[in-house]
Amino acid sequence: MPDLPYSHELDVALEAASEAAAILARHAEGARESWEKSEDNPVTKADLEADSAIVERLRGAFPADAILSEETARDPGRTAKPRAWIVDPMDGTKEFIQRIPEFAVSIALVERSEPVVGVIANPSARVVVFGTRGGGTHRAPLDGPPRALRTQAVRASISACERLADARVIASRTEISRDQLAAYAEWFAKLVPVGSIAWKLAVVACGEADLNVSVAPKNEWDVCAGDLLLREAGGIYCAFDGSIRRYNQPDPLIAAGMVAGPPGLVAEFCDREAAKRC
């Protein structure tokens, strides 16, 4: 594979994601001790150790960049900086605790509010999906240093599905169990529960599912890397009204429902959603 745009930044992100994934895999073999940061918001020792490893590597390589991470104090001046790393050391903590192999490390670089590097690593599946703006999305076995990952990588692209009625849609296990997607279920051929929104976006970017629909609030660190992967794989990630997120905002919460997949499917979904609300 030739050098990609933001090649150095990608290599550092791949190294950080690989190290964090190894930490999560090691903790996954143990008791998986956890506690609640807030209601229905668990954290584990694995989250914190992986976060420290990622932040240390990013700060060492790019000391001038801001970092927005779920698990550490947010840099109060981050929005004034042209570049920010947006990190979730483990998206899918609930799945990790329940021993469901659908959790992932998510690392993104944003430049002037636009994602330019994205890496999502699933330590259970031993898969990493990565991309850069203008360089495409790639999938590789999670094994070895960045050069090895690039050598083994294959180009990824979104599904060729053209009709919502034919779509295999992956969605939050929690949202499905709470019937939050009941109003949409008949629109699709199949609705499948999958953990970790970061991992779901990577799966859609690789064409292994046709669409992701989510109605619950998300944070930038949950979805920024996946957004970049989708864009570079030929897809789109947007709110139900079609608006596109700009990242490193003062408030990282994304309250709107979001949909991800091929532009045609996303447009059909958004059109039906708009009609439903009239």
Contacts 24+ apart (CB under 8 A), 154-157: 156/129, 156/205, 156/206, 156/207, 156/229, 156/233, 157/206, 157/207, 157/233, 157/234
- Output the CATH code of domain 7-156: 3.30.540.10
| Domain chopping of the chain, boundaries | 7-156, 164-277
- What value does the mean pLDDT of the chain take? 91
Give me the amino acid identity at 204. V
Architecture of domain 164-277: 3-Layer(aba) Sandwich (3.40)
Token pair belonging to 156: 């990824």
pTM given for the model: 0.93
pLDDT of residue 38: 46
In angstroms, the first-to-last Cα distance of the chain is 49
pLDDT of residue 97: 83
Q: For residues 75-86, b (16+ Cβ closer than 10 Å) or e, as one string? A: eeebeeeebbbb
Q: Do domains 7-156 and 164-277 have the same CATH topology?
A: no
* pLDDT tens column, 121-172: 999 999 999 999 999 999 999 988 888 888 899 999 999 999 999 999 999 9
**Count of residues in the chain:** 278
Question: Maximum Cα–Cα distance for the chain, whole Å?
Answer: 52
Centre a 10 Å sphere on the Cβ of residue 98 and count the other Cβ atoms it contains: 13
Segment 52-71 shows an average pLDDT of 93
